[in-house]
Amino acid sequence: MGHYSAITGWGMNVPEKILTNADLERIVDTSDEWITSRTGIKERHVISPGESTSTLSIAAARQALERAGLEGKDLDLIIVATVSPDYRFPSTANLVQHALGAQCGAFDMQAACSGFLYAVSVAHQFIVNGTAKHALVIGVEVLSQVIDYKDRATCVLFGDGAGAVILSASDEPGGLLGFTIGSDGARPELLWIPTGGSKEPATEETIRERRNFVQMQGAEVFKFATRIMGTAMEEALANAGMTAADMDLFIPHQANLRIIEAASKRLNLPSEKVFVNIEKYGNTSAAAIPIALCEAIDQGRVYPGAHLGMVAFGGGLTWAAAVVKWTAPIRTLERLQESLPEQAVEPAQPVHVG
Ligand code: COA
């Protein structure tokens, strides 16, 4: 068991509260017309009191476990990709591990918006080398708490949410077939939170100057994104022995509709092969791809045998891409609940990690 790592469970959670473009018109000097035409975004979800990165993560993870027919104790590894954790430490993954009743190693990692695909590539190593049988990978962000709602250039773009997958060891050819990860740290100031770390701790002054919030040089990031989305996707496809024409569905990072369109054009993909849901969520950073994957599955656009291409870019700068051959039966939670006894799954074999 274990030459391949397949996605066997998936789940998502977004806060109930919605912030529309009309709401933002009342907060900053912007317009629905500007936001829609420049970004494709119409609304985004934001947390309310009582919600946080860990609560969204736990809800998404529970759905993923249910679809995989697993319980928390069956997990051998938990990775949470986020730049907006509950605390500096302990990690959000620690909190998720406890809430799920898991008894395994758990850690956060961050590669900004590329974090989810980075984390998938790490979990994949644990699975294929036999150290883990089931790994939970979560991409989650609560950017509403680190966004400057006085800065119209950034506050219209981002939203909160979580997406999760279970990667499981499998003998069936498929799952993660190829990936690439990349980094260029030459210009961190293109997209960052300048203060609050060891280099420039938060002070009254940094807070007054609003340097504790996300800052971005949008046009520079835009140029980088339109180039890297296509090249990173092509690299991951080549690693899988494939080309763009072999993809059945392209699930790109949801940062800006114009960036997605430019990447799709470069890859020569017709629009029916491209998944877009940015209008509802904005850019949820590390959560964007797993949320998009869940919605693509719900819409019947993912099926056993389908080849999915996923690519992300973000602060760092970072980028990552992955090619997945889908192998799992498509299970809706409703169907699962109706046929619970039949879905009972053999207890997982104990796996010794380390
Ligand atoms: N509402 C109205 N006007 C706005 C605005 C807003 N929310 N935000 C910026 N503007 C203004 C700017 O001030 C500028 O005005 P000026 O010409 O008078 O100076 C004008 O709109 C054009 O700004 P510009 O930056 O050239 O717009 P753009 O077409 O590049 O779009 C972004 C801006 C941010 C949407 C775009 O650059 C982008 O998406 N960049 C990538 C960001 C990204 O993906 N980040 C996340 C990475 S994971």
DSSP for 265-286, please give it.
Answer: HHTT--GGGB---HHHH-B-GG
Exposed/middle/buried for 201, CB within 10 Å: 0-12, 13-18, 19+? exposed
**CA gyration radius for the chain?**
19
| Cα–Cα distance, 19 to 252 (Å, whole number) | 23
Question: Cα separation of 198 and 195, whole Å?
Answer: 8
**By alpha-carbon position, which residue is closest to atom 3 of ligand 1?**
30
CA 35 to centroid of ligand 1, rounded, Å: 9
pLDDT at 341 over 50: no
**What residues does each domain of the chain span?**
4-175, 177-325
pLDDT given for residue 339 in this prediction: 57
pLDDT surpasses 50 at 181: yes
- Tell which atom from ligand 1 comes closest to the C-alpha of 256: 39
Pocket test for ligand 1, best of 30, 191, 222 (most atoms within 8 A of CB): 222
Indicate the pTM of the whole model: 0.94
Q: How confident is the model at residue 335 (pLDDT cuts 50, 70, 90)?
A: low
Protein residue closest via CA to atom 10 of ligand 1: 153
Q: Give the whole-angstrom CA distance, residue 151 versus residue 128.
A: 45
pLDDT of 343 strictly over 70: no
On the question of pLDDT at 1 being above 60, the answer is no
Domain pair 4-175 / 177-325, same fold: yes
Q: Report the interhelical angle of 288-298 vs 115-128 (nearest 10°).
A: 80
Instruction: Indicate which residue's Cα is closest to atom 32 of ligand 1.
Output: 218
Which of the four pLDDT bands, split at 50, 70 and 90, describes residue 345? very low
Q: Which two tokens stand for residue 187?
A: 């210009």
**Average pLDDT of the residues of the chain:** 94
| Euclidean distance between CA atoms 83 and 49, whole angstroms | 20
- The amino acid that residue 190 corresponds to is L
**Residues within a 6 A CB radius of ligand 1:** 30, 34-35, 38-39, 113, 152-153, 156, 191, 216, 218-219, 221-222, 225, 255-256, 283, 314
Classify domain 177-325 by CATH number. Answer: 3.40.47.10
- Output the pLDDT for position 331: 77
For ligand 1, atom 2: residue with the closest CA: 30
The alpha carbon of 312 and the centre of ligand 1 are apart by a number of angstroms equal to: 20
Assigned superfamily of 4-175: Thiolase/Chalcone synthase (3.40.47.10)
Examine the pLDDT at 182 and tell me if it is beyond 60.
yes
pLDDT in tens, 185-221: 999 999 999 999 999 999 999 999 999 999 999 999 9
Catalytic residues: 113, 253, 283
Whether residue 315 is predicted with pLDDT greater than 70 in this model: the reply is yes
Cα of first residue to Cα of last residue in the chain, in angstroms, is 18
At residue 333, the pLDDT reads: 75
Q: How many CB atoms lie within 10 A of CB 206?
A: 15
For ligand 1, the distance from its centroid to the CA atom of residue 39, given in whole angstroms, is 9
The three-state secondary structure class of 132 is coil
From ligand 1's centre to the CA of 218, what distance in Å? 6
Average pLDDT of the segment spanning 32-59 = 98
* DSSP structural state of residue 150: T
